[in-house]
Structure 1
Amino acid sequence: MYSLTPVRALRAMVVLALTAGFATHLPTAHAATPAVDTASAVAAKPYMGWSSWSMQSSKYPGLNPDGDYSYLTEANVNKQTDALASKLKKYGYDYLNIDAGWWMDKAWKSGYDQYGRQKADPVRFPSGMKAVADRIHSKGLKAGIYLPAGLEKGAYGDGKTPIWNADGCTTADIVYSDLRTTNGWDSAYKIDFSKPCAQKYIDSQAQLIAGWGYDFLKLDGVGPGSGKSGDQYDNVADVAAWNKAITDTGRPIHLEVSWSLDYGHAADWQKYSNGWRIDTDVECYCNTLVTWENSVDDRWDDTPAWTDKAGPGGWNDLDSLDVGNGAMDGLTKAERQSYATLWAVAKSPLFTGDDLTKLDDYGVSLLTNREVIAVDQSDAPPARPVT
């Protein structure tokens, strides 16, 4: 199917979707529209690009020689930036997203500035995060960065850490007095947005990443979702605060929330963000990037409920599309093709976590098939299940 002429390939894509239990909408069919401003250029279509997490998290030989997650360095980001620009940019892949750990040393100890905001680890990113974004932009690409929900425990300090541009506000003034924890790992204190200083802290983080020139933020560990439920882990107010803070920067920044977001709050994710991870991580945390059973195949079961939630301004995120590295992906060719097919007909963001410097021929054929990309990027709504 991938070698067909453009028109025949698009038709074959529809047939494949049908035989898999999905039907594609015609462009005139109705689809639910997220409550975000659809006139905005941000997330008008599912974004395309690369993310560092799949290689950071893998135990594939040689990827993380200095310990878990050690792959994430400025040097490696630069290599992937160059490869994205030279190999995939012309097909629409333009986001280069730096995932968790940019403010942590190789022992996973975090660093913060004098205002309790994440600060680049000087070993991982010796030039700093602004310089990295500048280099990404110099290649005609967009730069993405990552933060967890809540106030990280290490940022709290003794509660007397001042908040940037907020006279009299300290970290003690933005959290609950009992220091209840939040996010998918309980790595942060829950922010109390009934306190006037709380929004100021999110504003300070947003101003920082906007000043560095980032175009994308993945906010992770968001609940309800991320394996947690209950008031303590309800981060809807955090996402709303980030939405406001990003708007106030005046910089268009795509806000993506993660992971396994609660379907019951779909309207909130639509209102306040540009994309939402509907499932757990696609990575297997093993000696390949992914495996079929853990957890690529889950998406066929979990995507249908969300189909009518996606549209211009906000999309269902199925996670990384790791189909380009052959043995390192841990999949057969048939599995790689099926993986790419679902992502395209579901109109998920198409971002890969593969090593772009080592794409195999079959991987290139999957990632650069213009007809398949056209299905993902078309004005038609996502395919819907028929059974």
Structure 2
Amino acid sequence: MRQLSARSARLRGIGALTAAVLCGAGLGAPAAVAAARDGAPAATSPGAGLVDTPPMGFNNWNSTHCRPEFNEDMVKGMADLFVAKGLKDAGYQYINLDDCWAESQRDANGKLVPDPVRFPHGIKAVADYVHSKGLKLGIYTSAGTHTCSEVGFPGALGHEYSDAQQFADWGVDYLKYDNCNNQGVDAQKRYTTMRDALKATGRPIVYSICEWGSNKPWLWAKGVGDLWRTTGDISDSWGSMLSIMKQNLPLAPYAGPGHWNDPDMLEVGNGGMTDTEYRTHFSMWSVMAAPLLIGTDLRQADDATYQILENKDVIAVDQDKLGEQGHVVSSEGGRWVVVKEMADGSRAVALFNESDRAQRIATTATAAGLATGHAYRVRDLWQHRDYNSAGTLAATVPAHGTVLLRVWKDDHSVVYPPAAELGVTGADFVQPGKTEEVTTTLTDLGRTTARRVSVDLDVPDGWQAEATSPATARTLKSGKALTTTWSVTAPKGTGPGSYGVNAVATYWPSHGDAVTTRVPLRARVAVAPPAGDSFASDLTALSSANGWGPVEKDHSNGEAAAGDGKALTIAGTTYAKGLGTNAASSLEYYTGKQCSALKATVGVDDEVGDRGSVTFEVLADGRKVASTGLLKGTDGAQQLTADITGAQSVQLVVTDGGDGPDYDHADWAQPTFSC
């Protein structure tokens, strides 16, 4: 499902898919398909044996769509960078072309024709170049009459065997097969036909089924394809990535060597998220044993992007031979613990913080599946450092961050320094000119003693941070903690915004070098709304996350650029003031314990018709104080009133109804704070 014109592509593709479900029409199935229905042994996929671990590579769509920079030079440039930057050595091997590589019409013989401007030397020449680098080439088409772009390039429906042979003749190694313009033909029939066509070429080709999870391919696509999309398209936003992750996580039982759940390509480096959020993206895709397909133009990538994409410790989690997808151990309060069993008996443990403020997340080696009563070796996969542990796995995780650990049962782990947890409380909000109390706690989680322990608090220039209790200790034995209270003051006149505050701890093991651990935090300086009633759209949010495009003020959500929405309209009534969002969405406002109520009229915007399903929620200091329950496009408007008395901050949250975020245009009409 393509996003060049997100709404038009989805309307066209989903509408056709609905017809397929209702009509069950189809092409004449080849003999192989009929045999399978008669109880013959299930056929193998075209790429059987090629992707016993999730495929890794590059796809241009997320960074270029159909823009002119998608061309032969770009593809060759990606292949060159894979080699020069060490990505090939890290495991990346596929260079995949997405939509818009072809001419808009087939030739007189019904063959596909590469765009002569984008690919003047043809696809085979590009494949030969990619192969010369020891890499592989992928290509794209759709299981319909046309692809998903607005131009509508030729799709493969009715041309499966001819197109598959062309791909094989060109030296293609990977096919992404989309779902637009499918003319009501049964999904399983369409995707099985292309499976058989690819196999008939005799060339091993990895087969990526991209039908957006609409027909639950995890139930039927093993042996048809090598991987299958479980969700709609990702966009370069925290809300989109989070929604897709949540849809994919429950499907762990269906993934394994040679048959992978695919939550779509990576957005790392495209600029819509922070580096912390991109590390979470990369960590969680790896824990979910997802394909790792780079979606940014590496010719323009910064060092931080390369450091994320080249992290071999994290890649090893994704590429583990056991092929397990991580499963959720807990997720209360946005504190996620996701565990992936590894082939060597270790566990990868993701401590993921969904919330907008730092939180302590903890579990144990036993809860992660390792035997109890042992010592453990713990490796932090982003710090690239090993520790010994007595069994507790814990960290204060920054907002939207992930601490990714790998844990082994290891009775000899005392050769490593003790693991330590540095916790911080009280740093969320700071009032200019007023002293706020912050507490740091350093706890020895290891089996050995930490020595010469010190804790510090780094604050912005001009701020003051003074310890009012001891910040050092000669020793810290296993299970013991050093707790320090700090007085923190931001100078008068400090403007509203988010400011970096770092808690830093240093300690020495019994042998070896000093260990330094730090927790990056964001202290927020904010001003409460004025006395009286204020529309939320007239205030500045502390944070904003949205599933598609930015949150719109006083307009509906347009899904792409700021300002592309329409008038807010629910059940025929138009509202001049409000917020246009798309699930999953969250906005946080500072209320400074000075507001008593939030009132709004909420519902799914009329522009999506009878589609969309969402839930509106209001959280006061992280506690849910109001909720609509499930609302659909057919339900009209609902009044929502929340008691927010005494809250420091209030979040306006929209969650997806469980059917994916497409069409989830959720309007907060006339949202009013009473203060």
Q: TM-score w.r.t. structure 1 length? A: 0.68
Report Cα offsets for 1:9-31 as digits up to 9, x if no partner. Answer: xxxxxxxxxxxxxxxxxxxxxxx
Residue 248 of structure 1 aligns with an amino acid whose one-letter code is A
Residue 266 of structure 1 aligns with an amino acid whose one-letter code is W
Q: Contact 2:175–2:207 (CA<8 Å) still a contact in 1?
A: yes
Q: 2:264 aligns with which of 306, 309, 319?
A: 319
Alignment of 1:291-370 (within 5 A): 291-293=237-239, 295-323=240-268, 325=269, 328-370=270-312
Q: CA deviation at 1:189?
A: 10
* Cα pair distance change 1:359/1:152, threshold 3 Å: closer
Between the aligned partners of 2:309 and 2:117, the Cα distance in structure 1 is: 33
Between the aligned partners of 1:190 and 1:89, the Cα distance in structure 2 is: 31
Q: Contact 2:266–2:293 (CA<8 Å) still a contact in 1?
A: yes
Q: 2:133 aligns with which of 115, 136, 139?
A: 139
Alignment of 1:211-250 (within 5 A): 211-221=169-179, 232=184, 234-250=186-202
Partner of 1:158: none
Alignment of 1:153-302 (within 5 A): 198=158, 201-221=159-179, 232=184, 234-262=186-214, 264-283=216-235, 290-293=236-239, 295-302=240-247
Per the alignment, in what secondary structure is the counterpart of residue 296 of structure 1?
Answer: helix
Partner of 2:75: 77
Partner of 1:10: none
* Cα pair distance change 1:346/1:222, threshold 3 Å: farther
Q: Which runs of 5+ in 2 are unaligned?
A: 1-41, 331-675
Per the alignment, in what secondary structure is the counterpart of residue 347 of structure 1?
Answer: coil
Residue 84 of structure 1 aligns with an amino acid whose one-letter code is F
Between the aligned partners of 2:101 and 2:47, the Cα distance in structure 1 is: 33
Are 1:120 and 2:63 matched, yes or no? no
Q: Percent identity?
A: 33
* Cα pair distance change 1:301/1:139, threshold 3 Å: same
Q: Contact 1:149–1:188 (CA<8 Å) still a contact in 2?
A: no
Report Cα offsets for 1:102-155 as digits up to 9, x if no partner. Answer: 014xxxxx03122323210111110011111111111110000001112349xx
* Cα pair distance change 1:189/1:340, threshold 3 Å: closer
Between the aligned partners of 1:330 and 1:189, the Cα distance in structure 2 is: 32
Q: Contact 1:111–1:120 (CA<8 Å) still a contact in 2?
A: no
Residue 82 of structure 2 aligns with an amino acid whose one-letter code is L
Per the alignment, in what secondary structure is the counterpart of residue 63 of structure 2?
Answer: helix
Residue 100 of structure 1 aligns with an amino acid whose one-letter code is D
Alignment of 1:54-133 (within 5 A): 54-57=62-65, 69-87=67-85, 88-104=87-103, 110-133=104-127
Partner of 1:47: 55
Per the alignment, in what secondary structure is the counterpart of residue 220 of structure 2?
Answer: helix
Bigger fraction of residues in strand: 2
* Cα pair distance change 1:38/1:313, threshold 3 Å: farther
Between the aligned partners of 1:188 and 1:212, the Cα distance in structure 2 is: 19
Q: CA deviation at 1:253?
A: 0.2
Q: Contact 2:47–2:206 (CA<8 Å) still a contact in 1?
A: no
Q: CA deviation at 1:47?
A: 0.4
Q: 2:321 aligns with which of 372, 379, 384?
A: 379
Between the aligned partners of 2:131 and 2:210, the Cα distance in structure 1 is: 25
Q: How many residues get paired?
A: 287
Higher relative contact order (CA 8 A, sep 6+): 1
Between the aligned partners of 1:254 and 1:43, the Cα distance in structure 2 is: 7
* Cα pair distance change 1:267/1:248, threshold 3 Å: same
Report Cα offsets for 1:71-95 as digits up to 9, x if no partner. Answer: 2111121212211222210100010
Bigger fraction of residues in helix: 1
Q: CA deviation at 1:264?
A: 3.5
Report Cα offsets for 1:47-85 as digits up to 9, x if no partner. Answer: 00000101223xxxxxxxxxx522211112121221122
Higher mean displacement: 137-146 or 264-273 = 264-273
Residue 120 of structure 1 aligns with an amino acid whose one-letter code is P
Between the aligned partners of 2:267 and 2:198, the Cα distance in structure 1 is: 30
Per the alignment, in what secondary structure is the counterpart of residue 238 of structure 2?
Answer: coil
Higher mean displacement: 241-250 or 257-266 = 257-266
Residue 90 of structure 1 aligns with an amino acid whose one-letter code is D
Q: CA deviation at 1:222?
A: 6.1
Q: CA deviation at 1:270?
A: 1.7
Q: Contact 1:190–1:232 (CA<8 Å) still a contact in 2?
A: no
Q: CA deviation at 1:38?
A: 11
Q: Contact 2:213–2:230 (CA<8 Å) still a contact in 1?
A: yes
Q: CA deviation at 1:185?
A: 8.2
Between the aligned partners of 1:321 and 1:123, the Cα distance in structure 2 is: 27
Q: Contact 2:187–2:215 (CA<8 Å) still a contact in 1?
A: no
* Cα pair distance change 1:265/1:46, threshold 3 Å: closer
Between the aligned partners of 2:123 and 2:178, the Cα distance in structure 1 is: 19
Between the aligned partners of 2:188 and 2:150, the Cα distance in structure 1 is: 17
Per the alignment, in what secondary structure is the counterpart of residue 272 of structure 1?
Answer: coil
Q: Which runs of 5+ in 1 are unaligned?
A: 1-33, 58-67, 105-109, 154-182, 193-197, 284-289
Residue 251 of structure 2 aligns with an amino acid whose one-letter code is W
Q: Contact 1:55–1:71 (CA<8 Å) still a contact in 2?
A: no
Q: Contact 1:343–1:349 (CA<8 Å) still a contact in 2?
A: yes
Q: Contact 2:143–2:156 (CA<8 Å) still a contact in 1?
A: no
Q: CA deviation at 1:191?
A: 8.8
RMSD over aligned CA atoms reads: 2.8
